[in-house]
Structure 1
C-alpha cells in the first residue's frame, strides 16, 4: 500500500492540519499511510501532540478483560472463535460477579471489558444482563464495557438500564461489500443500525477496523478513517489483520504493522479525545508492537487477567499461540512511552 511519491517529514504537519480542519483528501492520506522512517516518526509525534491536547493528564486507561463465552453465531472468514470442533463455554452470571470482585478488590481495576463471540441468543444475553446488574450493584464505580456483537434495540436498552456505560462494536470495514465478504453471515446495514441504536440509548460507543483484510484497498482505509471519525466515538481502534487457524483466510498474508500504526496515528489526529487501544495483534507480529502503538497515539491497554485459566485456550482469536500481554509488560511500555497508568 504505497503511493507513487514518498511522503517527507515536512509534509506531515500540513496533511494533519488538513485533517484537523475537517478536510480529508485521499492522496495525502494515502501518502501518510505509507510513511516510513523519519516521516513515520514525525507522524507519530503529531499524533502524540493531538493525544496530549485531548488527555492533558498524560494517563493511559488500563482495563481487564473477561472472555465470557466462545459461542459465536457469525463464523467470519478471518476468525476462529466458535469453530465447530471447539468445546463451548459460557461463564454464569454469579461467577462473573466473583471474577469482577476479585479484579476490583485485588487488582484495583476500575474498568472491565466483558467480551464474547457474537451471540444474541436470549438466554445468553439475559445471563450477561444479569451479571452486569449484579456487578454494578456491588461495585457501582467499576466501569463496564460490553462486547458481544449485534443485539436488538430492546436488548441494548436492558443492558444500558443495568448501568453499563460503554459498548464496543467494531465495524471492521466501512465498505458494505467488503464487510459482507469477510463476514458473510452478517449485513453491514444491520451493523450500522446497531451503532446508531447504541448511541441513541446513551452508551459511550467504541468501534474500529482491521487493517490488511483480504480485498482491502487504500481507498478503503481512507473511507474507514472518515467513517470512524464522523461517528464521534468515545473509543476508536485499528488492529492488524491476522488470519485465524482453521478459517477461510487461514493461508492469507498478515496485514502490515507499519500501515496499521500510521492509520492509528491519523485516527488519533482526527479523534484527539477518544480512547484508543494498542492491541495485542501488534505485539504478535512485531516485537515492541504495543509500545509503538502508544507512540502512535494509543492510550489504552488491556490486560488479559480475567478469563479463568481453564477457558483461555478455548478463546484463541488467532491461534493456540495467542499473545496475552501481562501486567508488567503493559506497565513497562506505558511508562517508557512517557504516560502513566490510570488507577
Structure 2
C-alpha cells in the first residue's frame, strides 16, 4: 500500500483524481486534509469547479432558520442545549405559521429550516406536523426542512405527508464508537436506521459530521467522507467542533478550521450536486471563516432571522456568544465568492 509520504509530491489535481477514483483513498484523503497554503488554494479551486458542474447558475440557497424549541431528550457531550438549568421554550404552532408568513412575505424566503433539540415526544411532533401542514397550505412555494432528531418511521411519514420536503439528520460521526462516546444517550444504529427511513420515505435528506470531536482520528474523517458520499445525499455538511460551555467536552481543544475547510472541499468534489452550508462555527473561530467555506465549495447560507429575539439566547448550541450571521453579511460574502443570491 502506498504511504502518505509517497502521495505527497502529487499535485492537487492528481490527488483529487485519485480520491474520485477510489485509488489509495485513505492516504489520499489524509494528504488532502493536511493541505495548506498553495496546495489548499488549489484544493478549493477544484471544489469550486465541482460546484459549478452541479450548479452552473452559481446560485446560492438562502434559508431562514426557526429554532422552534430548545427541549432536547439527548444530553450530548458537545452541546449545551440539553443542559438541565436552561429555561425551556416551545414556539406554539400558530406562531410558527405567522413567523413563516413573515419570512416569506417580508424577507422573500422560500426555504425554511425548522430546528429544535432532539425531541420525539408525540405531542410536540404532532404540533410541528400541524404547523408544517398549515404553512404549506398557506405558502405552497415554501420548501420546509425538518431538523428535530431521531423520530419513528411513522412520525417521519406524517411529516412527509404534511408537506415537509427535506430532513436534516447529522450523523456527527460515522464511527459508532466515536458517535456513542459523544452522544451517550443515543445509539449509532438507531441514527443510521433513521437515515434509511428518511431516504425510503422520499425526503431530500441531509447529513453531516463534526470535525475535531475529542478522540477523532484522520481515519475517522476518511470514514466520514466515504460514508456521506456513498449515501447520495441532497445536503451534506461539516462543522468545526467548538467545546460547549457547561458540557462534558467544555475543556477539550477546539477543532481545526483549516482541516474542516479541506474536508468541505473534499465533500464538494465527491458530491457536486449536493447543497452544502458554510456554517456559523467557521466564523466563530476564524475571521472570514464563512467566506472561506464558500470558497471551499459551500453554496448554502443560513440566516438566523426566524427565532423570536426573546428565545435566541436560549438556543446557544455552544455558548451564549454564538455567532448569528445576518442577511447583509451573508449576501456580501456570497457576492465576494462569485455566487448569485436570490433577491
Counterpart-to-counterpart distance in 1, 2:96 and 2:295 = 34
- SS at structure 1 position matched to 2:60: strand
Whether the 8 Å CA contact 2:76–2:184 is kept in 1: the answer is yes
Deviation at 1:23, TM superposition (A): 4.2
* Corresponding residue of 2:186: 186
Deviation at 1:13, TM superposition (A): 0.6
User: Normalising by the residue count of structure 2, what TM-score does the alignment of the two structures yield?
Assistant: 0.97
Q: 1:82-121 to 2 correspondence within 5 Å? A: 82-121=82-121
Counterpart-to-counterpart distance in 1, 2:137 and 2:123 = 21
- SS at structure 2 position matched to 1:159: helix
Q: Cα–Cα, structure 1 residues 19 and 6, in superposed 2: closer, same or farther, change >3 Å? A: closer
* Corresponding residue of 1:77: 77
* Corresponding residue of 2:291: 291
Aligned residues: 341
Deviation readout 1:192-250 (Å, 9 max, x if unpaired): 00000000000000000000000000000000000000000000000000010000000
Counterpart-to-counterpart distance in 2, 1:9 and 1:46 = 17
* Corresponding residue of 2:49: 49
Deviation at 1:65, TM superposition (A): 0.2
Counterpart-to-counterpart distance in 2, 1:9 and 1:265 = 20
Deviation at 1:21, TM superposition (A): 2.8
- SS at structure 2 position matched to 1:59: coil
- SS at structure 2 position matched to 1:157: helix
- SS at structure 2 position matched to 1:340: coil
Deviation at 1:15, TM superposition (A): 1.7
Whether the 8 Å CA contact 1:50–1:272 is kept in 2: the answer is yes
Deviation readout 1:74-96 (Å, 9 max, x if unpaired): 11000000211111000011000
- SS at structure 2 position matched to 1:167: strand
Counterpart-to-counterpart distance in 2, 1:305 and 1:9 = 46
Deviation at 1:116, TM superposition (A): 0.3
* Corresponding residue of 2:68: 68
* Corresponding residue of 2:229: 229
1:177 aligns to 2:177 (yes or no): yes
Deviation at 1:19, TM superposition (A): 2.7
Q: Cα–Cα, structure 1 residues 319 and 204, in superposed 2: closer, same or farther, change >3 Å? A: same
Deviation at 1:18, TM superposition (A): 2.2
Counterpart-to-counterpart distance in 2, 1:326 and 1:95 = 22
Counterpart-to-counterpart distance in 2, 1:185 and 1:26 = 30
- SS at structure 2 position matched to 1:276: coil
Counterpart-to-counterpart distance in 2, 1:130 and 1:245 = 34
- SS at structure 2 position matched to 1:66: strand
- SS at structure 2 position matched to 1:199: helix
Q: Cα–Cα, structure 1 residues 6 and 253, in superposed 2: closer, same or farther, change >3 Å? A: farther
* Corresponding residue of 1:138: 138
Whether the 8 Å CA contact 1:64–1:111 is kept in 2: the answer is yes
Q: 1:308-323 to 2 correspondence within 5 Å? A: 308-323=308-323
- SS at structure 2 position matched to 1:228: helix
Deviation at 1:8, TM superposition (A): 6.1
* Corresponding residue of 2:335: 335
Counterpart-to-counterpart distance in 1, 2:89 and 2:157 = 25
* Corresponding residue of 2:123: 123
Counterpart-to-counterpart distance in 2, 1:176 and 1:24 = 24
User: Normalising by the residue count of structure 1, what TM-score does the alignment of the two structures yield?
Assistant: 0.97
Counterpart-to-counterpart distance in 1, 2:294 and 2:6 = 24
- SS at structure 2 position matched to 1:251: coil
Counterpart-to-counterpart distance in 1, 2:150 and 2:19 = 31
Deviation at 1:25, TM superposition (A): 1.2
* Corresponding residue of 1:39: 39
1:253 aligns to 2:253 (yes or no): yes
Counterpart-to-counterpart distance in 2, 1:4 and 1:137 = 55
Please tell me the root mean square deviation across aligned C-alpha atoms, in Å. 1.3
Segments ≥4 residues shifted beyond 3 Å: 3-10
Deviation readout 1:171-193 (Å, 9 max, x if unpaired): 00000010000000000000000
Whether the 8 Å CA contact 2:7–2:27 is kept in 1: the answer is no
Deviation readout 1:299-320 (Å, 9 max, x if unpaired): 0000000000000000001101
1:13 aligns to 2:9 (yes or no): no
